Structure 1
């Protein structure tokens, strides 16, 4: 089943039973840890190159965090039973799934390094590049408040970083709509984590399972 996802929409609650696997077709989903004070901080963002709920293949029964749509788009929902059936029917699907799980683990590890070592502007530039890689349009809706929540930064810090990227000619940003104007300039502002992650991304695509189960 394909349906729209809207920025700010919670797709999985932390601790909820995993009953479906979600494949973003466009848009971006933020996987977050929830703190005791209610704050949610992003661990990794998932787009059309991966899935949410894939850890069920390793026996995980409940969501380890909250999945929240950061950028509106569409996603395909597949019941856990149909997902497991596809794993059995298609020999090529299982390696692709494990490749995606491995990729997310590597990105999580890189994000830990990124948060500790790089500036707000570098981190935001890298995140926007990852988002641009996974979007079907060059412009997308995202608020500075959403970016502040993703990185657990003060809104003023995010505003300063966006203004730097805007002044550099890397992006255009107005009223919550962001466009990547020059990827080369944006890459120049980004930290090394973007290229480190991109170099390890697998070529397999797991979205063909949706067509199989339709």
Structure 2
């Protein structure tokens, strides 16, 4: 019954009433996800719904020239597999593991048995879908209209919140692919944030040094998404900050 022991690590699972959570536990499988693993390729039907607990998943749009851009990331505040819930089945984006960690997954063919109509799960997942779409739209606006420095601040704040730590493992090349910009642009933006004292950089890792400063340098997109999640979803039971620098998504 790993789900019951770690339910508060996923905001959606922890929001379910105990009886529904117990029912769902029989269908969920705990998995360990490795960074870079592809969970679903664009144009295919997902085999599972994923409910991350410590992993972070990235949903990427792929372009014909091989470039990519992150549409949205999902951590312990949500789930991946909305196309299955909405009946569309095939997804138009690639889902890849951005940060290694743990997750629970539900087989797509067992979804109707695990999430019966009439309970709390369906309206909860529909509200999450609304918040998910707001986040995707906000990220698209951010990547189109805001400076790289602001985009990087927004992405770092969201990542720090999801991993519950003041440090994330990410390279400048990975950030360039996520934001859809040149690697040189990411390196220059990271250097400016480091010079300002907001973050610290070492090979393959970025660490938050001054949360307040980082938030002041970010655009309104970060706060708008947090507000929408707070409006639509209950806070995760037992959630807590990992030190003064980090926050949970609530």
Work out the CA distance in 2 between the residues paired with 1:170 and 1:27: 24
1:48 to 72, 76, 79: 76
Structure 1 residue aligned with 2:14: none
Work out the CA distance in 1 between the residues paired with 2:118 and 2:211: 37
Work out the CA distance in 2 between the residues paired with 1:57 and 1:206: 22
Q: What count of residue pairs does the alignment treat as equivalent?
A: 207
Q: Which runs of 5+ in 1 are unaligned?
A: 208-214
Instruction: Answer whether contact 1:110 1:193 (CA < 8 A) is retained.
Output: yes
Moved over 3 A (4+): 204-207
Task: Compute the displacement of 1:82 (Å).
Answer: 3.2
Instruction: Answer whether contact 2:61 2:71 (CA < 8 A) is retained.
Output: yes
Structure 1 residue aligned with 2:210: 182
Work out the CA distance in 1 between the residues paired with 2:36 and 2:196: 29
Instruction: Answer whether contact 2:54 2:75 (CA < 8 A) is retained.
Output: yes
Instruction: Give the SS at the match of 2:164.
Output: coil
1:28 is aligned to 2:56: yes
Q: CA RMSD in A?
A: 1.9
Mapping of residues 100-115 of structure 1, within 5 Å: 100-115=128-143
Instruction: Answer whether contact 1:2 1:74 (CA < 8 A) is retained.
Output: yes
Structure 2 residue aligned with 1:139: 167
Deviations 1:20-73 (A, max 9, x none): 101111132110111112222111111111111123111011122100122222
Q: Which runs of 5+ in 2 are unaligned?
A: 1-28, 238-250
TM-score (norm 1): 0.90
Structure 2 residue aligned with 1:2: 30
TM-score (norm 2): 0.77
1:69 is aligned to 2:88: no
Work out the CA distance in 2 between the residues paired with 1:77 and 1:148: 29
